[in-house]
Amino acid sequence: MVHDAANNDEQDAPAMTEFSSTVLRNSAFGMVAQMAIKVLSFLFSVLIVRQLGAETFGQYAAILAFGAMFVFIADLGLSTYTVRAVAQLRGQEDGKEKIDDLYANVLLLRLLLSIVAAVVLITTAWLTNRPPMMILAIALNTLGLLMYSVQGSSDAALAGHERLDLSAGAKVAFQVVFISVGALALYLDTGYFGLIAANLSAIAVMTLICWKGLRRLGVRPGRLNLSAWRPLLRAAIPFGVIGFTLGLSYKFDTVLLNIFHGDAVTGYYNAAYNLIFSSVVISNVINTSLYPSLTRRAAQNAESLGGIYERAFRYLLTISIPIAVGGILLADQIIPFLFGEGYEPAVQVLRIVIWAVPLMFVSEFLGYVVIVNGQERRVARAVLISTGLNVAVNLIVVPLYGFVGAAIMTCVTELVLVSQYMWILRKQFHSLDWGRLLARPLAAALLMGGCLILMRGLPVYVNVGVSMATYAVFLLLLGGVGREEWQYVLNLRQATAARSAK
């Protein structure tokens, strides 16, 4: 059951010392590192959209979408399962040996699965009559699957050891290499083949860093045990179903748009859609930092999780709601400012799909909460239902209504997913203070929106800055944030200092 946030803080503060400092290290480093590089990466993605043009960018987006739809075969949920298993094994007497053995078996399994995924991916592109150059690009891109098998296995073990700071460093290196090599490729006018080569170079660097980081922690591939593969895959499959269905729901519309409406329409849609995923990186850093710590916490002191869940839920909504309100009001300024006058159709897409942002922030977090409770099969079922709806309806609306239908279904899919998670967690979350969780951030965001309407004539960058400031002021006046947050920050600093002194 979720209790009053203030009471939870008072009761759980001593027990949360290690938890808070660990999450702070993971999320703070991950947030700073990823947000810094994300700004550069975002600017580079804008350059890609501008440089390639709507048609070529649409084909490039379709190539990436094909890969994203089938990448689950190369993992089958092994990465997410490994994070939880390593986090649980660390506290056992023979945990080190078991972790080494698990790492060895996951590593080999993922290498073999990557080969299968590459064959399926290329075959699917051929069967759907994609152009020969596009099939060649997809085939080249599958080389990354082999490297990801090593990187993903190592990254999962790092996460299980709650060393997401090392993982974040590897991701920063990936972005730096991709942007550097990719910029050279754009300068040399090599098209999306040059970008694929840049991506492969970046994956190689990231793989090396994760491998070395794990070795510094003393983890080495242990004994192979083929008889353990079946139970290992059986345990991981629910996570694999989750990964597959999420990838399908996020990318199926892009593939359909490319097949039925061509490259340019696909480019318009993905120009707006990529802005959504750029904002979701905030929640992803927070949620991936929380997951291993929550898993270990659930095994040691599950009663203390209620206050943590409520606080995280509230902060995710507080961050995401103004993004949606600001996005719908500024879409006609943001799209031309970023991508140029040739992308006007993307304005309509952004005004619809921006409402998926708060839902994505929340759905990822709620999914992790259900998994921490050991109910990953229920997560898999929920994602299957929402994705099944997405695929079935998109098969009807995308051929008829193009990117408008796809954008609406993106929001509907996330809403269905969040509704299912809330139903699963209804006993834990039935006493949530919705006035504080949702009403206050929404009221502050709407007041911010009113200010934006009055400032329509100002440049977009001025509007963005002023909207952030006005939202913060309104949120403070309405009591959305206040003394409690300040005290929480002080407690977190004390917790970090206490851990550092040990």
SS3 432: coil
Q: Is the pLDDT of residue 425 over 80?
A: yes
Share of the chain above pLDDT 70, in %: 84
Measure the CA–CA gap between 90 and 159, rounded to whole angstroms. Answer: 12
Q: To the nearest 10°, the Cα dihedral for 132, 138, 139, 140? A: 110
Query: Which of 14-23, 243-252, 293-302 is predicted least confidently?
Result: 14-23
The domain of 193 spans 5-501
Distance CA 214, CA 209 (A): 9
Q: Which residue has the higher pLDDT, 323 or 217?
A: 323
pLDDT tens-digit series, residues 442-487 = 999 999 999 989 887 788 889 989 899 999 999 888 877 666 655 5
Cβ(316)–Cβ(438) below 8 Å: no
More confident call, 301 vs 139: 139
Q: Quick one: average pLDDT of 19-48?
A: 64
Could you please report the per-residue DSSP string of 255-320?
HHHHHHHHHHHHHHHHHHHHHHHHHHHHHHHHHHHHHHHHHHHHHHHGGGHHHHHHHHHHHHHHHH
Distance (Å) of CA 475 to CA 69, 116, 195, 309, 443: 39, 51, 42, 21, 8
pLDDT level of residue 35 (50, 70, 90 thresholds): low
pLDDT single digits (tens) 105-116: 999 999 999 999
Low-confidence winner among 98-102, 119-123, 161-165 (lowest mean pLDDT): 161-165
The CB density around residue 323, as the number of other CB atoms within 10 Å, is: 22
pTM value surpassing 0.85? no
Phi and psi for 67 in degrees, rounded to 5? -65, -40
For the ranges 174-188, 193-207, 305-319, 458-472, which has the lowest average pLDDT?
305-319
How many Cβ atoms are within 10 Å of 340's Cβ, its own excluded? 14
Number of domains composing the chain: 1
Percent over 90 (pLDDT), the chain: 35
Q: Across 10-24, 38-52, 400-414, which has the greatest mean pLDDT?
A: 400-414
For 48-61, the pLDDT digits (tens) are 998 888 889 998 99
